[in-house]
């Protein structure tokens, strides 16, 4: 058995042939194997959508939330068990649309977890409506006259809200993406990677070739702790689009500041049903 085989699951994968999600799944397996994270120490949380099916295809602990709520569930899990390595898989609609409020507050809290946003610039599960990241003017079956809202820039928003690790990746370059995921998981705090992921069925504009014609890799030997440079890179989304670590800077982690958790995680506490019942009765 190879290291990557440790993460194989028995679920049947029904993503479309050629879906960009396969590249993300492969990069995740490679990164987890490189980091030697045991499946029993791994929790993957997701919401709703094709991206949210990712944990089905990995041997790990996993949990689905409702649309857009994966980050809040992941926060609760981290509060309860600090030893878990937590990854969140979310689509651009799930994360930036339904879950936009949770995304903003996860960035400013800096809880130790990694968010992978599968950004295909469309709602794939529900057959091709425009998502928050669809380009202005893009036509779909639901927007035949073209999108009339400006696209949301996830990395720029994360930077604005104080995220300490912000990166952009491409599912078509598995090796490069694996390196980004490894760096994100090793970051002590909230790390987010916005990953371009072509939808071969419902987005005929932003194809794999469309990305390949525009993407260029950043020099990872350079320090990436300058906020102004990071914002400039995050907003570079025209004919040339940078992928790599846009920004990384040490910040105080959220849970380490909670007084009630100084004695350790909730999972290590003694469960006293009589005491719990007493507290409940006080509020009835």
Residue 270 lies in a domain: no
pLDDT-above-90 percentage for the chain = 85
What is the C-alpha separation between 127 and 271, in angstroms, rounded? 46
What is the per-residue pLDDT across 80-111, written as a single tens digit (0 to 9) for each?
A: 999 999 999 999 999 999 999 999 999 999 99
Query: By the 8 A CB rule, do 163 and 176 touch?
Result: no
Domain count, the chain: 1
Residue 272 lies in a domain: no
Question: What CATH number does residue 211 fall under?
Answer: 3.40.50.970
Residue 274 lies in a domain: no
104 three-class SS: helix
pLDDT at 19: 96
Report whether pLDDT(179) > 70: yes
What range does the domain containing 235 cover? 5-254
Residue 155 lies in a domain: yes
Write phi, then psi, for 129 (nearest 5 degrees).
-75, 160
pLDDT at 61: 94
pLDDT at 4: 76
| More confidently predicted of 275 and 177 | 177
For the chain, the 3-state helix, strand and coil shares in percent, each to the nearest 5, are 40, 15, 45
Residue 210 lies in a domain: yes
Which H or E run contains 166? Answer: strand 165-170
End-to-end CA distance of the chain: 55
Residue 94 lies in a domain: yes
Report whether pLDDT(221) > 90: no
């Amino acid at each position: 058995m190879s290291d990557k085989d440790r993460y194989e699951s028995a679920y049947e994968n029904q993503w479309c042939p050629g879906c960009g999600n396969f590249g993300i799944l492969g990069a995740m397996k490679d990164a987890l194997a490189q980091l030697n994270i045991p499946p029993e120490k791994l929790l993957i949380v997701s919401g709703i959508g094709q991206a949210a099916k990712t944990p089905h295809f990995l041997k790990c602990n996993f949990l689905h939330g409702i649309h857009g709520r994966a980050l809040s569930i992941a926060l609760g899990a981290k509060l309860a068990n600090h030893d878990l390595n937590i990854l969140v898989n979310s689509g651009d609609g799930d994360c930036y649309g339904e879950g936009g409020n949770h995304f903003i507050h996860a960035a400013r809290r800096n809880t130790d977890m990694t968010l992978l946003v599968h950004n295909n610039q469309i709602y794939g599960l529900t057959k091709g409506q425009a998502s928050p990241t669809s380009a202005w003017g893009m036509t779909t079956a639901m927007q035949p006259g073209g999108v009339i809202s400006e696209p949301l820039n996830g990395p720029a928003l994360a930077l604005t809200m104080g995220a300490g690790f912000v990166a952009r990746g491409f599912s078509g370059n598995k090796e490069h993406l694996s390196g980004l995921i490894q760096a994100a998981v090793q970051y002590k705090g909230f790390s987010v990677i916005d990953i371009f992921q072509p939808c071969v069925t419902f987005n005929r504009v932003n194809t794999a070739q469309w990305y390949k014609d525009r993407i260029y890799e950043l020099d990872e030997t350079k320090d990436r702790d300058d906020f102004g440079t990071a914002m400039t890179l995050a907003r570079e989304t025209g004919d040339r689009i940078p992928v790599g670590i846009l920004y990384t800077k040490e910040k105080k982690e959220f849970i380490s500041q909670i007084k009630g958790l100084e004695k350790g995680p909730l999972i290590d506490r003694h469960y006293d049903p009589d005491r719990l019942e007493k507290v409940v009765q006080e509020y009835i």
